[in-house]
Chain A
Amino acid sequence: MLGRRHLPRTLTIGSVVVLLIVVLAALGPWITPYATDAFAVRERLQAPSAAHWFGTDEFGRDVFSRVLAGAHYSLLMGFGATGISLLIGVPLGMLAAFHRGWVEELIMRGVDLLISIPPVLLGLLILATADPGLFKTIIAVGVVYVPIMTRLARAVSLSLLAEDFVDAARARGDGAVRILWREILPNAWPPIIVETSLRITFAILLGSALSFLGLGPQPPASEWGLMIAESRPFIEEAPWIGLAPGLCLCLLLVMVNIVGEGLRDLLDPRLQGRGHG
């Protein structure tokens, strides 16, 4: 209910910016003014200028090009990881709601367990077992958020399962999969979409934090968290190396967050105040 009248405007702005970032990220590697990993010894640590909008780094690489080419990592981590948590979490949650009894116990106690590990630590643990890389980070972040999706999907499904149309389907003799797929899923979407859009922010944050700790894409990749981590020795001499990806990361997060909250207000005003990490 809050500010219904002006929220759609921020939603529009947010959506446009996010869309723009997505387009830039998709085109990124092809439209960079310089090659992202080309060294230029004589142009190292140069301040932002007309030739290098975000300056150059310790190898003389163009920071603007690297930031541009690195955008897709954050988006992949945000959307990819959330997608994974959706793909695993939603079916699990619906299954738990449908098969009450030991299936539910098993799933929900597993969820309790996973959710009781702080996200960064769970990510650290998962990544400690494998050599780091983009896709492993995405999977790790996705797994971290599976429990939240499972709980939500189960709660939504439980209330839907009590509805008349489900009883009707049962009376027709429909199987579990059919009922979940045809009757529950189409009706369970709105809260799940809302949660998903809010979740993306946290997935991007967690992914870039893991990457900052060295557990994401490997150099010379220009993932933003990694770029910030690598910029640390030069923070005094050439702050732009870290500031540029950092500010871009913040912009992306603010906009994704605005879109998420806008969607929530649009789709489900009652859910306000329930979003969490």
Chain B
Amino acid sequence: MPLMRRDILALPAIVAAASLSRPASAQAGGGVLRIVVGSNLRMLDVHKTTTGEEYIYDVLVFNGLTRMREDMQIEPDLAESWSYSEDLKTWTFRLRRGVKFHGGREMEAADVIANFRRIMDPETASAARSNYDMIAGMDAPDAYTVVFNLSYPYGGFADILSDRQAKIVPREAFGTQATQPVGTGPFMFRSYTPGDRMLLARNPDYFEPGKPRLDGIEIRIMPEMAVRVAALQAGDVDVVWDLGPENVRALRDNRAVRVESIATSTWDGAILNNQTGPFSDIRVRQALHLAVPKADIVELVLFGEGAPTLSPIPPTHPFFAGDVPIPARADVAGARRLLAQAGHARGIRVPIVVPVGRPLRERLGVALQQLGRPAGFEFEVQRVPYARYSAEVSGKAPIYIDGFFARPTVDTALYPFLHSRGSWNTRLWHYNEPRVDAALEAARLTGDVAQQRTHYQAMQRVLAENPASFFAYTMNFACGYRTTVRDIATHPMRWFDLRNAAVAS
């Protein structure tokens, strides 16, 4: 169960830094690792990154206060330990000493504070801003201590500091991050040719002795999936990030290649507008769930590389409400009845917006279009470039296909999305269900994992009755590795921890 979450509050209040005793011999000489991705890295300013490709780079060049391991456990990163007050509103982080920015000065508490100020500044327009809206104030009693004062109790605060954009850069160099990024990470930025490749070099002064082993990393960009796969088979690259489900099957027989596919809480779905249009009627939303069996969707779109779900909580997670049935067969008559009750006896004709160039989501749109038809849903597929989503589609179109990456905590994966005052809620579906609000608030405030589980499962039961949207599936994340690549694990957050990795020449 890769998504098993540590019960955040059951740990001792102070987490000691993990032992750093690694044999000093494990130094450099690890070769250059060539990773291939599908689209351009657009933004190098870590606080403003928004795509999966950029997040890979984020964790290689920068560090946050905490770090998430492959088993979703939180461990110290720039902070070597932390403690929190009884009421969970005051969090104190003690910083590691002697951490140097690439080729520069030492990182200190003032940097941490300036970085979070920047992330929280609306002018920066960081996608992570709303995650940190509980921060009411920050303090630096000394150069190696940062105190966060929260406006409400938040048990998962150390967890969300491991998130993608929450990285620390020198406070005097904010303006040049987009062109000359500087961090503290195991690798240093060397060069970037938009559309072609990014080069990273080993950081010889990295604060963990003996790491990293790799001499450098090359992130190459190849838009065509078939070409990425062929390049892996030919040995032109060492790692393919994010294989399509169809490639997982095709590559399994190849001896020079290792494929890893793991369950994640990254989800795709049809976003239904609860405020206007036909889906503002709960019966129409229910009808869609009766009309389209999610199991068929998983088979058609993902070739089985994923699982039907009720909410962003994946079925592999202990909080998943396994007792709520997800229908395996279409109930066309039931769906038609509900549509008729909602005043759509002759069916519904509405465009379904699909993002261009994302094959899985395009397939999801086409699958819904076809599977919804017998019950009277006449969807007209409309492909719109993803760039236009935020201005024209999000929160406006009656139904559209979208999806979201795994988040560091269950709370951050649910609360902003499903709480009526959540930051994503108004950007997506305008869902308003007091019972869900209550469950989310209760789960956030309790420290007890068993109780959290009860609340979250109650929430899923309500969601099954009153669906906010069509959560189609949580999907696996798969990568292909040459067998010469050592010590990389596929990370459920869709990035790589390459501190120990090496390539055999």
Contact = CB atoms under 8 A, between A and B. Distances in A.
A and B touch in the complex (CB under 8 A): yes
B383 interface: yes
A232 B250 contact: no
Contact of B370 (A58, A59, A214, A232): A59
A131 interface: yes
B299 A41 contact: yes
Nearest to B230: A236
Interface stretch (B94-102, B357-365, B442-450, B464-472): B357-365
Interface size class of A (residues with CB under 8 A): 10 to 19
A235 interface: yes
Interface in B164-219: none
Contacts of A234: 246
A214 B384 CA distance: 10
Nearest to A235: B226
A214 B357 contact: yes
Nearest to B360: A233
Interface string B291-314: 000001001100000000000000
B366 A237 contact: no
Contacts of A220: 366, 369-370, 381
Interface string A231-250: 01111110000000000000
Interface residues of B, number: 28
Contacts of A58: 246, 300, 363
Contact of B371 (A39, A131, A232, A237): A39
A233 B244 CA distance: 8
A58 B246 CA distance: 9
Given A131-B384, A214-B383, A236 B356 contact: no
Interface in B237-288: 244, 246-247, 249-250
B229 interface: yes
A218 B382 contact: yes
B359 A233 contact: yes
A39 B250 contact: no
Nearest to B362: A219
B458 interface: no
B36 to A, nearest CB: 15
Given A41-B296, A41-B299, A232 B225 contact: yes
Contacts of A43: none
Q: Which of A41, A218, A220 has the most chain B CB within a 10 Å cutoff?
A: A218
Contacts of A59: 300, 363, 366-367, 370
Interface in A25-60: 37-39, 41, 58-59
A219 B358 CA distance: 13
Nearest to A238: B246
A230 B383 CA distance: 13
Contacts of A232: 224-226
A236 B229 contact: yes
B381 A219 contact: yes
Interface string B360-396: 0011011101110000000001111000000000000
B370 A237 contact: no
Centre residue among B226, B229, B249 by max chain A CB count within 10 A: B226
Nearest to B380: A218
A37 B366 CA distance: 9
A33 to B, nearest CB: 18
A58 B226 CA distance: 15
A8 interface: no
Contacts of A41: 296, 299-300
B292 to A, nearest CB: 12
A132 interface: yes
Interface string A45-87: 0000000000000110000000000000000000000000000
A44 to B, nearest CB: 8
Contacts of B384: 131
Nearest to A232: B226
B356 A237 contact: no
A219 B369 CA distance: 10
Interface in B348-362: 354, 356-357, 359, 362
A39 B300 contact: yes
B300 to A, nearest CB: 6
Contacts of B363: 58-59
A117 to B, nearest CB: 21
A219 B366 contact: yes
Interface string A188-203: 0000000000000000
Contacts of B382: 131, 218
Interface in B377-424: 381-384
Given A132-B383, A218-B383, A219-B381, A236 B367 contact: no
A38 B365 CA distance: 15
A58 B247 CA distance: 13
B399 to A, nearest CB: 15
A237 B249 contact: yes
B226 A237 contact: no
Given A59-B367, A218-B383, A219-B365, A237 B300 contact: no
A127 to B, nearest CB: 11
B381 A233 contact: no
B362 A233 contact: no
A169 to B, nearest CB: 52
Nearest to B369: A220
Nearest to A59: B300
B370 A37 contact: yes
Nearest to A131: B382
A229 to B, nearest CB: 10
A234 B225 CA distance: 10
Contacts of B356: 214
Contacts of B250: 236-237
Contacts of B357: 214
A236 B367 CA distance: 22
Contacts of A132: 383
20 contacts: A37-B370, A39-B367, A39-B371, A41-B300, A58-B246, A58-B300, A214-B383, A219-B354, A219-B365, A219-B383, A220-B366, A220-B381, A233-B225, A233-B226, A233-B246, A233-B359, A235-B226, A236-B226, A236-B229, A237-B250
Given A39-B370, A214-B383, A218-B381, 10 more contacts: A39-B300, A41-B299, A59-B366, A59-B367, A214-B356, A230-B359, A233-B246, A233-B359, A234-B246, A237-B249
The 5 closest A-B pairs by CB, nearest first: A235-B226, A214-B356, A219-B381, A220-B366, A237-B250
